[in-house]
Amino acid sequence: VSMMSLMYLVGKIAKDRAYVTAEDLLPQCLSDLGTTSEAVYHCYYEAYIRTHVVAPLGLPDTGFLPDPAKWARCAVAEQDEQYLYRLIQGYVSDGNTFASGGINGHAGLFTTALDISVMLHRFLTATEDDTYLKRSTIDLFSTIGDASFSSRALGWDTNTDRDGYHYCGTLSEATYLHLGYTGTQVCIDPVSGVYTSLLTNRVYPTDHGTSGGVRIAREAFNTMVHDILGL
């Protein structure tokens, strides 16, 4: 039995026997008032994201472990062939993340196009006085560190040329982006002031295909936006 499978089994037993509650899975941040006037927060990863990333922007549909009442609004992801053997809707499709409780740095976050738009607009319009994210911080995490080694910046990829292919189409090469395994994508172009989000799903109904089709769709979608706006 793998460690992930063991984590899943232990977690399922604990949940089925009511040893943990929904509140246990989504704890609040705790704060201590030290010698400074500002509180020092102690948070689990999910609580930090919820408190300091999602809440300040007022994103009602962004977060981990969505309430079952919202599952009908979640896109059907794929046919689970690892744990539950049914269509996945309302919980993370990444097997390792599901087995470890539904929360991870690379998977498990649910959102909507509207919530994404609010966040990306904030990125584009940030100033150095912004209390959410400073302009200099955005410039830092969107700048390639070593182009001879990688096209990536800090946590983001960039729209650099890959043998004639661009993830974000004809948006500028200053565009920074993020790709999701299932086919999702966001692109933020600081030159034109345009951002895009593409919430497609290449793994439905099963994750047995290749990424070739979604690569074509990503480039074509962003090029179409660029052309329609006359950039």
pLDDT tens digits along 69-82: 999 999 999 999 98
Picking from 170, 174, 168, 173, the residue whose alpha carbon sits closest to that of residue 186 is 168
Q: Does residue 4 have a pLDDT over 90?
A: no
Q: Which two tokens stand for residue 223?
A: 């090029």
Q: How far apart are CA 171 and CA 173, in angstroms?
A: 7
Q: Where in the chain are the domains?
A: 3-110, 113-228
Whether 218 contacts 202, CB under 8 Å:
no
CATH class of 113-228: alpha beta
pLDDT score at 20: 78
What size, in residues, is the chain? 231
Q: Which two tokens stand for residue 171?
A: 């948006």
Whether 48 contacts 29, CB under 8 Å:
yes
Q: Does residue 195 have a pLDDT over 80?
A: yes
Q: Does residue 99 have a pLDDT over 70?
A: yes
Q: How far apart are CA 62 and CA 199, in angstroms?
A: 14
Q: Does residue 183 have a pLDDT over 50?
A: yes
Q: How far apart are CA 172 and CA 159, in angstroms?
A: 7
189 exposed, middle or buried (CB, 10 Å; 0-12, 13-18, 19+)? buried
